[in-house]
């Protein structure tokens, strides 16, 4: 009898343990299943008046720039959205059309879609509408739509209020630096001119856009976002890299710990093949914001190009730690490992690449001359056989 | 007591079943996740970066009918043929990796096309060849050449016989020249006093 009782107590305790395990299992799995967010921001400008469209551009742009310096977040570049704009129907996204959402996820490799439109309902009062579509790893789609009504009195206070309301609805935390590093536009006219410049750029009226932006910096010489936009514009649209560096330097004069400005400076040096300067700028960006995977990948690539393979391997591994499921990073790591003769590790990295994306990489693995030295390695032959 | 024991047993079986189900579901979901990702991935992105620059966008869009560009984008590799035995133009480092002026220029071209570079140690079955020469080469189809003083060096690129591809490479090399990237690579590998004069 006593024996049965002890047995039953044991069973009871064991079942409680199992029950707790079941309850906590998803949480444990979630913790280990880390997700790095790639956010794409759209202006839902349809059916807006010209003035509301200007407002939408400036508010969404301010949001975009703030998000770029949040840890574990990458903002999808405008050029990627531009490249695919004929294939994306923003109205359908706004209406939560599932096919459209899946299409955008595929095209932009994004897992958060944010659409915002902002209307001045009465003078001095803004109604902002946001649509957030979140595509987590479990392939579900979570979506929400909400409205904010705000008084448009003090422009920098207004921007902070927008962030506060918006961030509550987003599936990530922004970190403390988000609130401390807020070099915002403080002049209403400058905010307006920024939106006007962006709107003109969207319509390819480049001269009008530049005039508006130059006027904007005159109104608010401390406006980091406007200098930054000018730097980006000269780099990506005019290919005037000297001018781009000039405006990014101005950005860094305003905020000398701006990781995104250093990132862009590095990117421009990379474009003009000044690899030494590029490494310096990317290192600065990395030291301030070590969670930005694009910076890490650039450093890995640049060190590889400079022949510093140990550093390159270290940075590829850091990138993989942040974004473990990106096949191209595993593939690049495999290339470096193969060059320095770490064949076993290279084959393991290739195996991971093919597990993640066999379709894109199988032929590459077979033909890439970086792996030519391993062609007769039995493990490499086996790898090809396994994924054929 | 027996009843209590049975309740415990049932609870145990139920809990264990839920636990096992959750394990099976978790591993199943992960498999589905990978499968879906395989199906959804856009092929041929051998590079780690998205296309950041509208120049790349222009080139890829404007020359999308080119058979060679399609081949490069689909395979994810730009194959450049060069004789890799002459430092600083092209040579193999201690690890056997190709390095040098022609390699860096080719890397920039590959980067603009959004693909990976493969340097091939011969001039056959490649998309593009790169070489240097001290005498002015004759003008001919599919040849792009630049002259640098005071080293009196001609840097030449020859594309395969796809007119659209040739035009794209001409635009890319001109772009590298106009933005100063070409000169920076020249300075790095060949000389600090690179000439400002270029010639097509």
Helix axes B163-179, B67-75, angle to 10 degrees: 70
Residue A267: strand, helix, or coil: helix
Q: Are B92 and A373 in contact (CB under 8 A)?
A: no
Listed residue (A301, A366, A371) closest to A337, CA to CA: A371
Tracing tokens 């020859």 back to the chain, one arrives at B158
- Residue A51 lies in domain: 33-182
- Whole-number Cα distances in Å, A121 to A28, A43, A114, A127: 46, 18, 22, 6
User: Which residues in chain A touch residue B51, judged by CB atoms under 8 angstroms apart?
Assistant: 79-80, 83
Render pLDDT for A258-281 as a digit per residue (tens, 0 to 9).
999 999 999 999 999 999 999 999
Please check whether residues A122 and A222 belong to one and the same domain: no
Please check whether residues A233 and A172 belong to one and the same domain: no
Which residues between 67 and 96 in chain B have a beta carbon less than 8 angstroms from any beta carbon of chain A? 75-77, 93, 95-96
Please check whether residues A162 and A122 belong to one and the same domain: yes
Please check whether residues A142 and A72 belong to one and the same domain: yes
Please check whether residues A87 and A163 belong to one and the same domain: yes
A332 located within any domain:
no
Contact A236 B41 (CB under 8 A): no
Per-residue pLDDT of chain A (388 residues; tens, 9 = 90+): 555 666 666 666 655 554 444 444 333 333 333 478 999 999 887 778 889 999 999 999 999 998 988 888 999 988 778 778 889 999 999 999 999 999 999 888 899 999 999 999 998 899 999 999 999 877 789 999 999 999 888 888 898 899 999 998 888 888 777 777 666 888 999 999 999 999 999 889 999 999 999 999 999 999 999 999 999 999 988 899 999 999 999 999 999 999 999 999 999 999 999 999 999 999 999 999 999 999 999 999 999 989 999 999 999 999 999 999 889 999 999 999 999 999 999 999 999 999 999 988 998 898 888 898 898 999 999 999 999 8
Spell out the CATH class of B54-189.
alpha beta
Backbone φ and ψ for B194, nearest 5 degrees, come out as -60, 145
Domain boundary among A195, A219, A244: A244
Please check whether residues A178 and A202 belong to one and the same domain: no
- Whole-number Cα distances in Å, B77 to A331, B30, B120: 13, 31, 11
Residue B52: strand, helix, or coil: coil
Percent of chain A with pLDDT strictly greater than 90: 64
Q: Is B184 on the interface with A (CB under 8 A)?
A: yes
Token pair of B175, please?
Answer: 């772009």
Which residues between 113 and 152 in chain B have a beta carbon less than 8 angstroms from any beta carbon of chain A? 116, 118-120
Please check whether residues A109 and A225 belong to one and the same domain: no
Closest chain B residue by Cα to residue A137: B33
Please check whether residues A191 and A178 belong to one and the same domain: no
Contact B19 A21 (CB under 8 A): yes
Contact B77 A368 (CB under 8 A): yes
Listed residue (A289, A77, A73) closest to A172, CA to CA: A73
The domain segmentation of chain B, as residue ranges, is: 1-41, 54-189
**Which residue from B9, B34, B53 is facing A355, i.e. has the nearest CB?**
B34
Contact B15 A309 (CB under 8 A): no
**Which residue from A272, A340, A355 is facing B184, i.e. has the nearest CB?**
A272
Please check whether residues A178 and A219 belong to one and the same domain: no
Cα A192 to its chain centre, rounded Å, is: 26
Please check whether residues A56 and A168 belong to one and the same domain: yes
What is the nearest CA distance from A235 to chain B, expressed in angstroms?
Answer: 8
Render pLDDT for B20-74 as a digit per residue (tens, 0 to 9).
334 333 333 333 433 333 332 233 346 666 555 778 878 888 888 899 998 898 8
Contact A22 B22 (CB under 8 A): yes
Which residues fall within 8 angstroms of residue A156, CB to CB, at 6 or more apart?
A182, A184, A185, A186
Contact A8 B4 (CB under 8 A): yes
Contact B36 A139 (CB under 8 A): yes
Render pLDDT for B124-156 as a digit per residue (tens, 0 to 9).
789 999 888 878 777 777 888 887 776 778 888
Contact B42 A363 (CB under 8 A): no
Contact B32 A139 (CB under 8 A): yes
Please check whether residues A125 and A167 belong to one and the same domain: yes
Render pLDDT for A282-339 as a digit per residue (tens, 0 to 9).
999 999 999 999 999 999 999 998 999 999 999 999 999 999 988 999 999 999 999 9
Q: What is the ipTM of this complex?
A: 0.79
Count of residues making up chain A: 388
Please check whether residues A103 and A123 belong to one and the same domain: yes
Q: Are A184 and A156 in contact (CB under 8 A)?
A: yes
Which residues between 29 and 68 in chain B have a beta carbon less than 8 angstroms from any beta carbon of chain A? 29, 32-34, 36-38, 40-57, 60-61
A339 located within any domain:
no
């Amino acid at each position: 009898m006593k024996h049965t009782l002890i047995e039953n107590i044991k069973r009871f305790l064991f079942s409680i343990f199992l029950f707790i395990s079941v309850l906590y299992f998803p949480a444990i799995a979630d913790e280990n299943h880390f997700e790095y967010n790639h956010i794409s921001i759209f202006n839902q400008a349809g059916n807006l008046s010209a003035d509301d469209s200007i407002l939408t551009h400036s508010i969404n742009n301010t949001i975009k720039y703030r998000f770029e310096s949040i840890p574990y977040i990458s903002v999808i570049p405008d050029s990627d959205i531009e490249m695919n704009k004929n294939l994306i129907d923003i109205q359908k996204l706004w209406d939560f059309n599932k096919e459209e959402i899946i299409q955008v996820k595929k095209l932009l490799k994004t897992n958060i879609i944010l659409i915002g439109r902002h209307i001045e309902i009465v003078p001095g009062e803004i109604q902002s509408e946001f649509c957030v579509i979140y595509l987590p790893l479990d392939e579900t789609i979570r979506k929400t739509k909400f409205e904010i009504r705000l008084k448009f009195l003090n422009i920098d206070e207004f921007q902070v209020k927008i962030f506060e309301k918006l961030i509550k609805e987003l599936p990530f935390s922004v970190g403390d630096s988000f609130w401390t590093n807020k070099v915002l536009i403080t002049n209403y006219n400058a905010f307006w001119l920024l939106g006007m410049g962006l709107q003109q750029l969207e319509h390819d009226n480049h001269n009008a856009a530049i005039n508006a932006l130059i006027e904007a910096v005159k109104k608010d010489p401390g406006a980091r976002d406007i200098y930054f936009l000018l730097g980006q514009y000269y780099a990506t649209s005019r290919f005037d890299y000297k001018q781009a560096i000039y405006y990014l330097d101005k950005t860094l004069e305003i905020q000398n710990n701006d990781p995104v400005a250093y990132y862009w400076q590095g990117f421009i040096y990379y474009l003009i093949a000044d690899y030494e300067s590029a490494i310096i700028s990317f290192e600065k960006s990395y030291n301030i914001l070590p969670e930005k995977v694009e910076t890490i990948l650039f450093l890995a690539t640049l060190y590889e190009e400079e022949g510093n393979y140990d550093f390159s391997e270290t940075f590829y591994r850091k990138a993989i730690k942040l974004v473990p499921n990106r096949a191209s990073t595993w593939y690049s790591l495999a290339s470096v490992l193969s060059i320095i003769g770490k064949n076993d590790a290279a084959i393991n990295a290739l195996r991971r690449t093919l597990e993640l994306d066999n379709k894109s990489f199988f032929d590459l693995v077979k033909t890439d001359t970086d792996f030519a030295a391993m062609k007769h390695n039995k493990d490499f032959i086996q790898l090809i056989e396994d994924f054929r | 007591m027996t009843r209590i024991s049975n309740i415990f047993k049932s609870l145990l079986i139920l809990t264990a079943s839920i636990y096992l189900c959750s394990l099976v579901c978790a591993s199943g979901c992960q498999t589905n996740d990978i499968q879906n990702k395989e199906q959804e991935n856009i092929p041929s992105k051998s590079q780690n970066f998205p296309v950041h620059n509208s120049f790349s966008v222009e080139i890829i869009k404007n020359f999308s009918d080119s058979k060679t560009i399609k081949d490069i984008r689909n395979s994810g590799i730009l194959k450049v043929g060069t004789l890799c035995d002459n430092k600083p133009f092209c040579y193999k480092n201690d690890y056997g990796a190709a390095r040098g002026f022609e390699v860096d220029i080719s890397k920039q071209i590959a980067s603009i096309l959004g693909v990976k570079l493969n340097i091939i140690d011969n001039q056959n079955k490649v998309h593009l060849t790169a070489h240097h020469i001290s005498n002015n080469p004759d003008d001919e189809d599919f040849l792009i050449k630049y002259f640098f003083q005071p080293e009196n060096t001609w840097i030449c690129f020859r594309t395969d016989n796809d007119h659209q591809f040739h035009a794209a490479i001409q635009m890319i090399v001109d772009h590298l020249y106009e933005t100063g990237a070409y000169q920076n690579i020249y300075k790095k590998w060949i000389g600090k006093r690179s000439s400002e004069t270029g010639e097509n």
